[in-house]
């Protein structure tokens, strides 16, 4: 398996874990009246979309080839690790809807990277992951 395929599988697992944590945090905030019904529905839609991205990444991982992208893949791996490490911060965020939107954007960028792997798509996915980590740090 290639390094890109390894990262795709790691991101599939990470998006799945974030989807569950996001759904749980959204439910907590909704029950506490911190977000309204529409915002909670947005969080639930994001949950479903992240789960779909996770399934896509898992399914496509075995077909990936990524020659000549060592530096881009190293940065992607670093961003993936930081995203995994930041997951615990989701339970403390008040901006669950904003984090949901950021995660959704990252999942779209990662899915595009898997569909059309190139140095540019790897960098775009990496930047989206890094921005999500920054959002969680606020």
pLDDT one-digit tens code per residue, 95-126 = 889 889 998 899 899 888 878 888 888 899 99
Q: How are the residues of the chain apportioned to helix, strand and coil, as percentages rounded to the nearest 5?
A: 85, 0, 15
pLDDT one-digit tens code per residue, 27-40 = 999 999 999 999 99
Specify whether the CB–CB gap between 103 and 18 falls below 8 A. Answer: yes
Say which residue, 69 or 3, is predicted with more confidence: 3
Confidence of residue 69 (pLDDT cuts 50, 70, 90): low
Say which residue, 66 or 92, is predicted with more confidence: 92
pLDDT one-digit tens code per residue, 43-57 = 999 999 989 888 888
């Amino acid at each position: 398996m290639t390094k890109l395929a390894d990262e795709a599988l790691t991101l599939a697992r990470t998006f799945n874990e974030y989807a569950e944590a996001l759904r749980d945090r959204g439910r907590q905030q909704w029950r506490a009246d911190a977000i309204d019904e529409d915002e909670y529905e947005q969080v639930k839609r994001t949950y479903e979309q992240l789960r779909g991205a996770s399934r896509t990444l898992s399914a496509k991982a075995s077909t990936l080839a990524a020659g000549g992208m060592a530096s881009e893949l190293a940065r992607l791996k670093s961003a993936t690790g930081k995203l995994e490490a930041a997951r615990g911060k989701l339970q403390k965020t008040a901006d669950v809807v904003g984090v949901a939107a950021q995660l959704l954007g990252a999942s779209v960028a990662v899915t595009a990277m898997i569909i059309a792997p190139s140095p540019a798509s790897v960098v775009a996915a990496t930047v989206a992951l890094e921005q999500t980590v920054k959002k969680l740090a606020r």
